[in-house]
Chain A
């Protein structure tokens, strides 16, 4: 069973406040920014990545 506080806690102090980015009125934690950027990235990949298999295998309903 890994450390109940998470493996990363051995390297980074996960419980102390993380870095925040400021841009005009916007303040965002690096953690939240990563989540949001990942979502946009995954969305774009989902749209453009080729979906495997024949899109029509001749099946009828």
Chain B
């Protein structure tokens, strides 16, 4: 149901912009370029899945409060789940980073994808750090006592007091996950929008201007003078 002037509505404008930036088939695709055929490509989704387990186990810990795991066997097990999902998160995220570096995945207007990923990586380290601080055990005491020196030495400690348990708990459970969440969602949407970075062109193919556009099918009648980027009609 449309009436004249509907297209000028804010809702309609936002919807048009969103859909044109990221059409549903691109947001949730059912095809991917044939060059995406290596196990290195699964580490992004493994990081995301690990993060989800971190969040769920964190929610369970939050339900019963920060002292629960000291006094309950179940709580201690959930704490273990939270610890190991964090270890898996960093394990898979760093391998993902290595893979993306060696692929130079920032090529072709994908710089922002790399930037959001790198900032999310550093933000994750900060978030994990606040997690260590709110364990309310010997580790927390020692880490807080040491970390305060680093932060104080550059003036940050004046605002971010690692000895203030209440402040650190709220950073760990509310503030930093929010910031990380925004960064990671942005990062993933950028991957969908820009697509997975294509392979480096081989020297000879680059000169001919046809790198990557070939079909593997020997029967194909690909016109090898057509530049990459133009759709190829394939006969047969």
Contact A46 B37 (CB under 8 A): no
Alpha-carbon distance between A55 and B94 when the two chains are bound, in angstroms: 26
Most chain A CB atoms below 10 A, which of B31, B38, B76: B38
Contact B215 A1 (CB under 8 A): no
- Find residues 1-28 in chain A having any chain B CB closer than 8 Å to their own CB: 1-6
A33 within 8 A of B: no
Category for how many chain A residues contact B: 20 to 34
Q: How far is the CB of B65 from chain A (nearest CB, A)?
A: 17
Give the residues in chain B near A53, CB-CB below 8 Å.
Answer: 37
B45 within 8 A of A: no
- Contacts A46-B95, A46-B99 hold; do A1 and B74 have CB atoms under 8 A apart? yes
Q: How far is the CB of A43 from chain B (nearest CB, A)?
A: 5
Contacts A4-B73, A61-B31 known; list 13 others, CB within 8 Å.
A1-B73, A1-B74, A4-B74, A4-B75, A43-B40, A43-B99, A46-B39, A46-B40, A47-B38, A51-B39, A55-B37, A58-B217, A60-B234
Contact A42 B95 (CB under 8 A): yes
Alpha-carbon distance between A45 and B17 when the two chains are bound, in angstroms: 42
Contact B77 A1 (CB under 8 A): yes
- Contacts A35-B87, A39-B95, A55-B216 hold; do A46 and B73 have CB atoms under 8 A apart? no
Alpha-carbon distance between A61 and B231 when the two chains are bound, in angstroms: 10
- Contacts A55-B34, A55-B37 hold; do A4 and B76 have CB atoms under 8 A apart? yes
Partner of B31, one of A38, A43, A45, A59: A59
Alpha-carbon distance between A4 and B72 when the two chains are bound, in angstroms: 9
Partner of B91, one of A1, A39, A61: A39
Alpha-carbon distance between A6 and B73 when the two chains are bound, in angstroms: 10
